[in-house]
Amino acid sequence: MAAPNPSSKVSKAGWYTLFLVSTMQAMSLLDRQILSILATNIRDDLGIGDAELGLLYGTVFALFYALFSLPLGRLADGWIRTKLLAICITIWSLSTGMAAFAGGFAMLALSRLGVGIGEAAAQPGGNSLIFDTFPKNRRGIAMAAMAIAVAIGLGASMILGGVAAEWWDTRYASVPAPLDLAGWQFAFLVAAAPGLILAFLLYKLKEPVRGAMEGIPTKPDPHPFRASGAVLTSVTPGLNWWMLWRRDAGAKQWLANISALAFILILCISIISWAQGFSPRPGLELGVGTLDPHLLQWFVVGFGLFVIFNLFQSFKLSDRPTYAVVLSPSLLLLMIVGGLQSAINYGVMGFTPSFIIRTYELSPAEAGLQFGLLAAALGILGPVIAGPLTDWVNTRMPGVGRVLLALLALGVSPIFGIWTFSADDAGSFYLRFTLYSLILTMWMPPVYAMMYDLVLPRMRGITSSLYIVIMTLLGLGIGPYAVGMISDANGGDLAGAIIAINLVSPVIVVLLVIVAIRVRRDEATLVDRARAAGEDI
């Protein structure tokens, strides 16, 4: 293996790439999160409950986001990432605009489906580009920039959504609106427009050399689309059996696959039965019939679980080096930590605007402007501190220092979360949320930097996609739905529901302690494990 590039200097092209990728991340969060500030208006117009909003915000989006992140992540590992991202941004921007013409749950669900497919390439392709333009000792700062972009997108979604919707409704309060659009529908159109400009800029961006920063030469993939299609076929339930047959899988592989499917079905059916008793919900009107929302929720979760199992089985049969590298305990535990914390984050942020509106009797525009500005400012300040701090602790305590930083942030944040959502007035809430957010935003840079340091450059896209599936399942797929279901079961008590989601925090702490014990060992054996499995490096 060639010696890694020792330079710590980031080129102008690297900074420009980071700017575009970070802007893409912000746009991704804007188009994904705008539903949260518009939820109250949508709820009133369409007559749906918090659980159904949780399905739209999380579950429906999560299914296609998770599924397509895998083949698109593989495509990011072999094709031109700049062009891939440009195409996908165009898809999700047009899908966001589609929501402007929704008259019921079905059209909103189709819009969220398209946003999920388009955004599936953002993280794999974007992270891969950054890691090929930033040296290892500057990646904490790069990951901090990505976390800042998340905060900006989150804040902008609330400000833009709340202000645009109220402006439109006020302007056309006494006269017919163009195309008979409501304010929340107009807000979706506004959110969709900037993505098309960003898509053009990324399309014109020069593709960096893959693996150059590590000094690990990466051969061009002669058939990236074929490989991407094989990943999609390998993980999609039903189609995966054809791939097992084509790859001459043995009896053990077939037995393991069928047994995993049976276990997942039994688990999901049991949870559906419990959920229907805990929080009964009317059927969702889909135009051609109705569907129980709990059935839809746990079908998506079960689908995702089977996709993850199929992916690992596919690695074992067709890409042994990736299987050997990705199966490291530290990497898998970090992915689970990110997924569980995302369940808290998405559950909290998905319903906080509605909580503020209902509890403190603010208008959507007031809540969006106040909370959006606060969330954006705090989301920027936290990573600005955490990014350099991540690089500093990794220099002083290689490997374990970053784990300890994440452990500190995620260990104490639930206490501040419970305190925050017990506030009696909006002023007290904002003050408490300031402390809560500053602590909570510090976990992403260290966790993300560790994950991508635990794999080879050619595996970063598919690793990012695997993380997306796990994070989506646990975070988007369960967090908002759980908060919405608990709220509906308790008469709309959003504060209690948001506080309840923090009960998974002790599990996060235990997992991070295990990572702290073994992360240096797993990083040190990375290349040896890949070589032993047949990697040519």
Last residue in a domain, options 318, 345, 375: 318
> Domain of 385?
12-210+319-532
In-domain check, residue 7:
no
Whole-number Å distance between alpha carbons of 228 and 71: 5
Residues 206 and 254 both lie in one domain: no
| Percent of the chain whose pLDDT exceeds 90 | 18
**Residue position matching structure tokens 């895998």:** 70
Do 508 and 380 lie in a common domain? yes
Q: Are residues 265 and 190 in the same domain?
A: no
Is 4 inside any structural domain?
Answer: no
Phi then psi for residue 163, to 5 deg, are -70, -45
For the chain, how many structural domains are there in total?
A: 2
Q: Centre a 10 Å sphere on the Cβ of residue 401 and count the other Cβ atoms it contains.
A: 20
Contact present, 116 and 472 (Cβ < 8 Å) = no
Q: Are 126 and 24 in contact (CB under 8 A)?
A: yes
Residues 143 and 25 in one domain: yes
Does some domain include residue 3? no
Neighbours of 281 (CB within 10 A): 21
Last residue within a domain, chosen from 300, 318, 336 = 318
Give the contacts of 228 (CB within 8 A, at least 6 positions apart): 71, 72, 74, 75, 78, 79
Which of the pair, 139 or 467, is modelled with greater confidence?
Answer: 467
Token duo for residue 464: 């990012």
Q: At residue 150, what is the residue type?
A: V
Position 54: which residue type? G
The answer to whether residue 2 is domain-embedded is: no
Report angle CA 91, 460, 10 to the nearest 5 degrees. 95
Token code pair at residue 384: 């600005």
Rounded to whole angstroms, how far apart are CA atoms 483 and 347? 6
Query: Residue 457 domain-assigned?
Result: yes
**Does residue 281 have a pLDDT over 80?**
no
Per-residue model confidence (pLDDT) at position 287: 58
Region 199-217: mean pLDDT is 82
Could you tell me the pLDDT band of residue 4, with boundaries at 50, 70 and 90?
very low
Q: Check residue 372 and give its pLDDT.
A: 79
Looking at the structure, tell me whether residues 483 and 360 fall in a common domain: yes
Q: What is the Cα–Cα distance from 519 to 398, expressed in whole angstroms? A: 10
Q: Residue 3's pLDDT is what? A: 43
Q: Does some domain include residue 5?
A: no
Assess whether 205 and 345 both reside in one domain: yes
Average pLDDT for the chain: 84
Domain C-terminal end among 260, 295, 318? 318
Whether 93 and 184 map to the same domain: the answer is yes
Query: Are residues 326 and 287 located together in one domain of the fold?
Result: no
CA separation for the pair 476, 348 (Å, rounded): 11
